[in-house]
Structure 1
Amino acid sequence: MANILKAPEPVLQCMDMIGGNHLDSYLIRTPGLDVWVDSRPHQTDAGGDVHLLSVCGSGRVTRMVMADVAGHGETSQETARMLRRLVREHINYLDQSRLVRDVNQAYSRHVHVGRFATMLFMTYYAPTGHLIVCNAGHPRPFHYSGRLGRWRPLDHATPDTGPSIREEKGSYGFQRVANLPLGIIPDTEYIQFEVHLDPGDLVVAATDAFIEARGPEGDELGELGLLALLGELQVGEPVAFGPALLAAVDRFRAAAPPQDDQTLLVARRTYDPPPKGGFAMIGRLLNRLLRRA
């Protein structure tokens, strides 16, 4: 029987990746998107939270990764560094659901039983203004929609108020066990979905230190509480909005220090025109971003 040659997996040639699992705060401007990140390990200089950002050479694709390794201390730091290395090795996949699946399989081979990680992958495609999201057990990100005039959590069931990235969105429902944290089941499938961002829209992603923040009476902030705090803030530039959100959470905790590593990412679609490119090229890249293995 003749050998059947499998077409190589499409890859996205990326510039050098920035980020890590250390104390950091920075603003990055990419085509069509401003991204602000603040990461604060718990009582150390490097912790179990991982944040990574890369941009393709043509500037059309911005990829943002956030992960939270279970536990604390040196073991979590080592696991976070290994996870960062695995993501680096797999970052060039255009289809991020395939990327997350392969990272999960590699991660499962290298960690001890019970050492899992949540991870959030977000890819912004500048020519159409769409954000493609794949969530592996991570707290849901939030989207401020200028069309709706309000904040909302993002998941596979969130209705897209803007133009669809394709004519038929298809089914993003869970057909089987899917989107578990990394390291739980090696062969877990990961499902991605998309949302259109209008100029001025914001996206906020955070590790669980925010929803698990506790007030002076021991009450937990939770997702609804964080959503309420978001709604009280003035929507604006990430470099101002991010610190304002951190301050609001600190007030909820009555200035008590967080009890876990905490990482916050705020992204805003800018009013800049998208990168130029032929329709054929844009269509090919978009198809590869959305392909399913």
Structure 2
Amino acid sequence: MTTAQSEVNPDAEPQVQTLQCMEVWSGHESFHNSVSVPGIDVWVDTDPFQGDTRGGDVHYVSVCGAGRLSRFAVADVSGHGAVVDEMAERLRVLMRKHINTLDQTKFARALNREFARLQEAGRFATALLTSYYTPTDHLVVCNAGHPRPLWFHHDTGAWTLLDQTSDSDGDAVNLPLGIIEPTDYVQFAVKLGRGDLILIYTDALVEASDPEGRMLGEQGLLDLVSGIDTNNPEAVSRRVAEAIAAHRSGAPADDDQTIIVLHHNAADPPPMSLGEKLKTMAKMIGL
């Protein structure tokens, strides 16, 4: 299994990678790169606070054994250093454990236990779990106290908030939707259209302040992205970052900042050769 955890030069030309079956792509260092999974193009931009090598924002991308299920997650863990390193590894293990499961219920409960352990140590964290199911073009979302993502609808050209009030279509994926007991996390599902974008981010965006100290806020972020050109999905995360910097009048962010853009290209997973199937089966049973 390969994980993308090495530092990436933010000035370098992004290298598009294709995730292989049973692979987990993760990190919490300064990172500017892209990856492709069946049906979704992903761009990840992470800038730790004050130019640190590593921060408290952790991102994950995984793809299941058959290429039909991909998962995208971000966690915002308070603090830096060893505490975040440990939590990042624990969450990566959870991603790997649940890599073939569309229903995020067990994953969310395990995540809740990890967050409770953090709280006992005086720390806190939020997370957003999303899973894309290629056969039906559904995105299943579970929000664990994290800022709500934004959804660009290609057919109308409009940005909206992505939450449980969005047009839900969970029956098509036969999942238990709503509150995941004993947590207060909500799981819901939406069907993506070709060309749609999902913007996942950490709270540095909505908490960005102008020179008068006014925070951008959720509605301000929605207004901001509504003025961004979406014709080139590859440039969306950079344009959002530039607009946020302009709102701060060039002042540095006062927290780790992560922007993840998902572009729904609606492509089906490629057929697997016999050798690829055998290799995938070996990974699934730990060989």
How would you bin the TM-score normalised by the shorter chain?
0.7 to 0.9
2:283 paired residue number: none
1:250 paired residue number: 245
2:163 paired residue number: 155
- Unaligned residue ranges in structure 2 (runs of 5+): 1-19, 273-287
Identity of aligned residues (%): 39
Between the aligned partners of 2:225 and 2:236, the Cα distance in structure 1 is 9
Q: For residues 129-148 of structure 1, what are the structure 2 equivalents within 5 Å?
A: 129-148=137-156
Question: Would you say the 8 A contact 1:55–1:63 is kept in 2?
Answer: yes
Q: For residues 33-72 of structure 1, what are the structure 2 equivalents within 5 Å?
A: 33-43=40-50, 44-70=52-78, 72=79
1:232 aligned to 227, 233, 239, which one? 227
State the aligned residue count.
251
- Unaligned residue ranges in structure 1 (runs of 5+): 1-12, 180-186, 278-293
Q: Bigger CA drift: 26-35 or 132-141?
A: 26-35
Cα distance per residue 1:162-210 (max 9 Å; x no partner): xx35269899555xxx69xxxxxxx425331011111100000000000
Local SS of the residue matching 2:166: coil
Between the aligned partners of 1:208 and 1:79, the Cα distance in structure 2 is 21
Question: Would you say the 8 A contact 1:14–1:92 is kept in 2?
Answer: no
Return the TM-score normalized by structure 1: 0.77
Give the partner amino acid of 2:124.
Answer: F
Between the aligned partners of 1:170 and 1:101, the Cα distance in structure 2 is 15
Local SS of the residue matching 1:192: strand
Q: For residues 12-51 of structure 1, what are the structure 2 equivalents within 5 Å?
A: 15-43=22-50, 44-51=52-59
Q: Which has the higher contact order (CA 8 A, sep 6+)?
A: 1
CA 1:263–1:85 in structure 2 vs 1: closer, same or farther (change >3 Å)?
same
CA 1:20–1:167 in structure 2 vs 1: closer, same or farther (change >3 Å)?
closer
Local SS of the residue matching 1:217: coil
Question: Would you say the 8 A contact 1:90–1:103 is kept in 2?
Answer: no
Give the partner amino acid of 1:241.
Answer: V
1:199 paired residue number: 194
Between the aligned partners of 1:16 and 1:132, the Cα distance in structure 2 is 20
Local SS of the residue matching 1:139: coil
Give the partner amino acid of 2:171.
Answer: R
Between the aligned partners of 1:171 and 1:14, the Cα distance in structure 2 is 26
CA 1:165–1:78 in structure 2 vs 1: closer, same or farther (change >3 Å)?
closer
1:8 paired residue number: none
Give the partner amino acid of 1:205.
Answer: I
Q: Please state how far the C-alpha of 1:16 moved relative to its aligned partner.
A: 2.4
Between the aligned partners of 1:167 and 1:272, the Cα distance in structure 2 is 19
